[in-house]
Structure 1
Amino acid sequence: MSHSPSPDHPLPPPLTPSAYEDTFTRDHLPPPEQWPLLEPLDVPERLNCAEELLDGTITRHGADRRCVVGEHETLTYGELRDRVDRIAHVLVEERGLRPGERVLLRGPNAPWLAACWLAVLKAGGVVVTVLPVLRAGELTTILRSARVAHALCDARFLDDLTEASRQVGEDAPSTLVYGGPGPDDLTERVDAHPTPFTAVRTAADDACMVAYTSGTTGDPKGCVHFHRDVLAIADTYAEQVLKPEPEDLFAGSPPFAFTFGLGGLLIFPLRAGAATVLLERPRPEALLDAVTERGATILFTAPTAYRAMAAGRGDRDLSTLRRCVSAGEHLPAATWQEWFEATGVRLLDGIGATEMLHIFISSTDDHMRPGSTGRPVPGFTATILDDKGTPVPDGEPGHLAVRGPVGCRYLNDPRQSEYVRHGWNHTGDTYVRDEDGYFWYKARSDDMIVSAGYNIAPAEVEEALLTSPDVEEAAVVGVRDPERGLVARAYVVPRAGLTADTDLADRLREHVRSRISPYKTPRSVVFVDELPRTPTGKLQRFRLREGAL
């Protein structure tokens, strides 16, 4: 069910008095009139989400259950809590962490990163998790934007952080290294501290993280999320769509810096009392191994990886899988079908956003149509609006707008008023809702190709290309044309062993023409070795439009 946006949506209620000594994050939230309309949550006024995810789960399910499976160690819930509490003691008693200060985390998915994430929140800090592949200049921007006070960094990824700290100067964070040699390493320092650690009594609406967007459309933005928000995504999408069980074993590719991965590989399994496999190099082959060797039952990754796994599974037994979630980019119907034929598991497609923390529209067991993203997750409302903010009839394309128990709050960023309008979160996607309430992705709103008066949705052309056995990956963008304004150009990664020449290009154009309207056929095909993507695997269309390959 959708609702028309109100031009005068009510202001959010006043925030609960904060437990934080450092109030930078709360002081730099958007003004109340720019907040999205939030659905109420039944949570206590004082809530520490790390305590609830770890101590609360132990109370319900016990401390001896398997919790985190790394490449070199496996921790039970009790062992993870012990490590978390000791790290929290180090942060507070050795480093002087004050409640509310920002703490940067840098490293690949691993048990130590999971423990650091929980420890920072339990100690009252605000987590800023970054990708380990970011360079010094990118890190410098984040250190300054979030005014990071402390950092916990995997020893293998220290160099760029050291250089970024040098560039920041006297405001550089106090850095602790883990996984390296010597007595000063965090892995050694924790042994000098006791357990337990009493969690800071944070407010439910105290900030717990600043998550930075992945930069598919330009400069990243810091998205502030509260302790309440972490439980909100677990109790909506995870509980009502994913339906995890305590015996499940999660695995996947997205890093914790990508909120798709943070939810799918840490928050959701801990909330359910389940276990999670954390892979430092989660290539398709490693994901297949997590299923065949570890017995993973729930998988989180992007369409590109599912396509590669379907093609490369060989005779592997993937029968332990019962849930496979796809997000991060549009899931073509051809990929859905290829995975289903290979495994018998129906992919759960979904769309989420860093601004919304996780998935808000998804297919479900009962509501699944290949090629459709699905319906709003229970607790969320979605609608399709025109350029004036008026709902459009079913079957017509428009701008996707959503609201629910979580929403966009940029950290000190003027783009807040672009994302949130009249209480709705505007995702920047063009969608169609059909008469049965299913949402169908067409393009990013700035990706729609208008050629000689015709609208060409890149996703539709890409989907046609991907049905060809000669295509490994494909992306379609609009390029300038003096006669038509824009024309469609396809960037294609051909299957291994093929000769990328004009004959192949002609065959692919004919293949597309035979499946969709001729005017949607790409005017040109450019062969590339790989498509430009962010470190989280999302396609950077703006680089293709700029020709920056």
Structure 2
Amino acid sequence: MELSPSAHLDTFARDHLPPAEQWPRLLLDAPGPHRTDGSDDPPEAPGPQYPARLNCGAELLDATIDRYGGDRPVFRDGASGAVWTYADLRTRVDRIAQVLTAELGVVPGNRVLLRGPTTPWLAACWLAVMKAGAVAVTVLAQQRARELATICEIARVEHALCDVRGVDELVKAEVPGLRIATYGGDAPDDLLRLAAGMPDTYTAVATAADDVALIAFTSGTTGRPKGCMHFHRDVLAVADTFSAQVLRPTPDDVFAGSPPLGFTFGLGGLVIFPMRSGASALLLEQAGPKQLLPAIAEHRVSVLFTAPTAYRVMLDELAGYDVSSLRRCVSAGENLPAATWQSWYERTGLQIINGIGATELLHIFISAADGDIRPGTTGLPVPGWEARVVDAGTGVPVPDGEPGLLAVRGPVGCRYLSDPRQQVYVRDGWNLTGDTYVREPDGWFRYVARADDMIISAGYNIAGPEVEDTLLDHPDVVEAAVVGRPDELRGHIVAAYVVLRDGAESGGGMETALRDFVRDRLAPYKCPRVIVFLDALPRTPTGKLQRFRLRDPAP
């Protein structure tokens, strides 16, 4: 596969793409209505098409202004109540891009870490990185120093833009050579103070459509984060497939949701999709179920992105709030139970748009809206995507009605950053998501379970072995095993089974100590909600841990 000439002066990202033979087949400029029957025959209608030179930041901002004008709202700040227009945003983005290149020495291809709560300023920084031709590495505000250090090591991050409220943990990571610029503070060199003195126009770097725009990190079952590299055209492709053809937003929509911008679910739902359609987004620093309902009522939100857990929690609070402005509700991050869908429909009259996406594929690739919705199923392949269910061993499609591994392909594909797991995720040109699915005889796809040891809790992906490794760092812990335990509210919760050293006392005090130990080292959502002390972990005669026995709900 031949790539376009790159605009990157720092070629690290392109140099570390997987070999071409390990890429999935991409459905770009492809003929077709995309097939769902597992056939390898070429599809028959065109897929997304993009020019060779493309900067997604310029497309989302400058091209949208050209189409809709600059006086429309784009971001509403949930904390201050301020409303930014597209023209306001362009001025601020272009000034930040000037600081990046003129003051901080960022050159096209440099990786820039972005860290902060979900605010218009974080979104502006992301867009500035895009226009400057650099590579955004957006992390969660909750991530701790050790996690940040690992991400910076893998992606060779040299620059960071960080909300001043979260800089301490980034400093604690002690990343060699990392240049940190903070924003939102009073220091003379604060990013926003520097930006205020810069010219308010910036010409976006003429990046290639297949230059890497962002590296999104996800955890595998080993706990070692995987960097998923996505191109400038990928950013637009997810908007031009799922958003344009399933969600179908209008310029008057107001988007909101719970996922932070460090998740591609949030980046799409709160930045890419609204901006591609000339709409606006309400950005909330705190976006739990109890914050979403009053925000929907106050700001007349019409498009909502959140996880099934949040919909279940909001059901109990609906009576106190006016949610009549909602017209689209999107669920992803974990399986949406049919009972939750039905209860939400009965209470609101709204049909939740279910979907499955992956960080490796940037956003949602199977979904259904309106008359195509069938509660209890995920839906149909999004136009521009193909899906099938295959045998885990052979990769051959299984008969309809039988479970197997979900395999998908479309305009975006998995490209891990220098990671041998590329050959596990991509087989025979298909992306294997790690989910077990059934394809119904009429083409609808139904979720069965995760096929690996990933725990999905309230929409967060948590790698059990990463939590195990952290527990094992505690001096009183000899062995640890972490699994997902079914939970009615969150789907699953993190349950840890621990063997202590001789002389260490189990009980409430130790349980609290271990939770605090984990919470100091990992994001709080990874902390075990249940800790069980055992004399020994169940193992085979050869010493292999029998995780299935820990997952068994029987005593």
Which of 398, 408, 412 is the matching residue for 1:406? 412
TM (norm. structure 1) is: 0.80
Asked if 2 retains the 8 angstrom alpha-carbon contact of 1:401 and 1:424, the reply is yes
Q: Which residue of 2 aligns with 1:506?
A: none
Query: Relative to 1, partners in 2 of residues 1:540 and 1:418: Cα closer, same or farther, differing over 3 Å?
Result: farther
CA distance in structure 1 between the partners assigned to 2:426 and 2:489 by the alignment = 40
1:185-264 maps to which residues of 2 (within 5 A)? 185-214=190-219, 218-264=223-269
Residue 123 of structure 1 and its aligned partner are, at CA, apart by: 0.6
Please give the root-mean-square deviation of Cα atoms over the aligned residues, in Å.
2.9
Q: Which residue of 2 aligns with 1:14?
A: 2
CA distance in structure 2 between the partners assigned to 1:199 and 1:336 by the alignment = 43
Contiguous gaps of at least 5 residues in structure 2: 29-47, 465-482, 491-514, 533-546
CA distance in structure 1 between the partners assigned to 2:349 and 2:211 by the alignment = 43
CA distance in structure 1 between the partners assigned to 2:524 and 2:246 by the alignment = 23
Asked if 2 retains the 8 angstrom alpha-carbon contact of 1:255 and 1:536, the reply is no
Q: Tell me which stretches of 4 or more aligned residues in structure 1 moved more than 3 Å.
A: 214-217, 488-495, 532-548
1:500-519 maps to which residues of 2 (within 5 A)? none
Alignment of 1:156 with 2:144, yes or no, is no
Residue 214 of structure 1 and its aligned partner are, at CA, apart by: 4.6
Which SS does the other structure have where 2:319 is aligned?
coil
CA distance in structure 1 between the partners assigned to 2:527 and 2:284 by the alignment = 22
CA distance in structure 2 between the partners assigned to 1:51 and 1:134 by the alignment = 30
Q: C-alpha offsets along residues 361-385 of structure 1, whole Å, 9 cap, x if unaligned?
A: 0022121110100000000000000
1:96-495 maps to which residues of 2 (within 5 A)? 96-164=105-173, 166=174, 168-169=175-176, 172-214=177-219, 218-386=223-391, 387-446=393-452, 491-492=486-487
Residue 173 of structure 1 and its aligned partner are, at CA, apart by: 1.7
Residue 493 of structure 1 and its aligned partner are, at CA, apart by: 6.4
Asked if 2 retains the 8 angstrom alpha-carbon contact of 1:214 and 1:536, the reply is no
Q: C-alpha offsets along residues 472-498 of structure 1, whole Å, 9 cap, x if unaligned?
A: xxx9x9xxxxxxxxxx99544689xxx
CA distance in structure 1 between the partners assigned to 2:99 and 2:83 by the alignment = 22
Question: May I ask how many residue pairs the two structures share in their alignment?
Answer: 465
Q: C-alpha offsets along residues 337-367 of structure 1, whole Å, 9 cap, x if unaligned?
A: 1111221110000000000000000022121
Equivalent AA in structure 2 for residue 358 of structure 1 = H
Q: C-alpha offsets along residues 378-437 of structure 1, whole Å, 9 cap, x if unaligned?
A: 000000001211111100000100000000000010100000000000000100011110
Q: Which residue of 1 aligns with 2:75?
A: 68
Residue 315 of structure 1 and its aligned partner are, at CA, apart by: 3.1
CA distance in structure 2 between the partners assigned to 1:543 and 1:224 by the alignment = 36
Which of 53, 58, 62 is the matching residue for 2:60? 53
CA distance in structure 1 between the partners assigned to 2:230 and 2:134 by the alignment = 13
Asked if 2 retains the 8 angstrom alpha-carbon contact of 1:49 and 1:231, the reply is yes
CA distance in structure 2 between the partners assigned to 1:16 and 1:276 by the alignment = 33
Asked if 2 retains the 8 angstrom alpha-carbon contact of 1:329 and 1:538, the reply is no
Query: Relative to 1, partners in 2 of residues 1:380 and 1:539: Cα closer, same or farther, differing over 3 Å?
Result: farther
Q: C-alpha offsets along residues 149-178 of structure 1, whole Å, 9 cap, x if unaligned?
A: 2100000100111011x2x33xx3211000
Q: C-alpha offsets along residues 256-283 of structure 1, whole Å, 9 cap, x if unaligned?
A: 1100000000000000000000000101
Residue 186 of structure 1 and its aligned partner are, at CA, apart by: 1.1
Query: Relative to 1, partners in 2 of residues 1:251 and 1:539: Cα closer, same or farther, differing over 3 Å?
Result: farther
CA distance in structure 1 between the partners assigned to 2:149 and 2:67 by the alignment = 42
Asked if 2 retains the 8 angstrom alpha-carbon contact of 1:67 and 1:274, the reply is yes
Contiguous gaps of at least 5 residues in structure 1: 1-12, 449-457, 463-474, 478-487, 496-529
Which SS does the other structure have where 2:372 is aligned?
coil
Asked if 2 retains the 8 angstrom alpha-carbon contact of 1:108 and 1:132, the reply is yes
Residue 216 of structure 1 and its aligned partner are, at CA, apart by: 6.5
Query: Relative to 1, partners in 2 of residues 1:234 and 1:494: Cα closer, same or farther, differing over 3 Å?
Result: closer
Q: C-alpha offsets along residues 495-515 of structure 1, whole Å, 9 cap, x if unaligned?
A: 9xxxxxxxxxxxxxxxxxxxx
Residue 539 of structure 1 and its aligned partner are, at CA, apart by: 11
Which SS does the other structure have where 1:414 is aligned?
coil
CA distance in structure 2 between the partners assigned to 1:350 and 1:539 by the alignment = 27
Q: Which residue of 1 aligns with 2:500?
A: none
Residue 540 of structure 1 and its aligned partner are, at CA, apart by: 9.2
Which SS does the other structure have where 2:316 is aligned?
helix
Q: Which residue of 1 aligns with 2:13?
A: 25
Q: C-alpha offsets along residues 98-123 of structure 1, whole Å, 9 cap, x if unaligned?
A: 11000000001101001000001101
CA distance in structure 1 between the partners assigned to 2:66 and 2:369 by the alignment = 30
Q: Which residue of 2 aligns with 1:37?
A: 25
Asked if 2 retains the 8 angstrom alpha-carbon contact of 1:217 and 1:542, the reply is no
CA distance in structure 1 between the partners assigned to 2:216 and 2:399 by the alignment = 35
- Between 1:69-78 and 1:229-238, the stretch displaced more is 69-78
Asked if 2 retains the 8 angstrom alpha-carbon contact of 1:39 and 1:379, the reply is yes
Percent of aligned pairs with the same amino acid: 59
Equivalent AA in structure 2 for residue 408 of structure 1 = C
Asked if 1 retains the 8 angstrom alpha-carbon contact of 2:221 and 2:453, the reply is no
Query: Relative to 1, partners in 2 of residues 1:537 and 1:295: Cα closer, same or farther, differing over 3 Å?
Result: farther
Q: Which residue of 2 aligns with 1:471?
A: none
Query: Relative to 1, partners in 2 of residues 1:536 and 1:432: Cα closer, same or farther, differing over 3 Å?
Result: farther
Asked if 2 retains the 8 angstrom alpha-carbon contact of 1:216 and 1:542, the reply is no
Equivalent AA in structure 1 for residue 61 of structure 2 = L
Q: C-alpha offsets along residues 269-322 of structure 1, whole Å, 9 cap, x if unaligned?
A: 000000000000101121111210000000000000010011112232111000
CA distance in structure 2 between the partners assigned to 1:494 and 1:229 by the alignment = 34
Q: C-alpha offsets along residues 91-146 of structure 1, whole Å, 9 cap, x if unaligned?
A: 00001111100000000110100100000110111000000111111100011100
Which SS does the other structure have where 2:250 is aligned?
coil
Asked if 2 retains the 8 angstrom alpha-carbon contact of 1:217 and 1:540, the reply is no
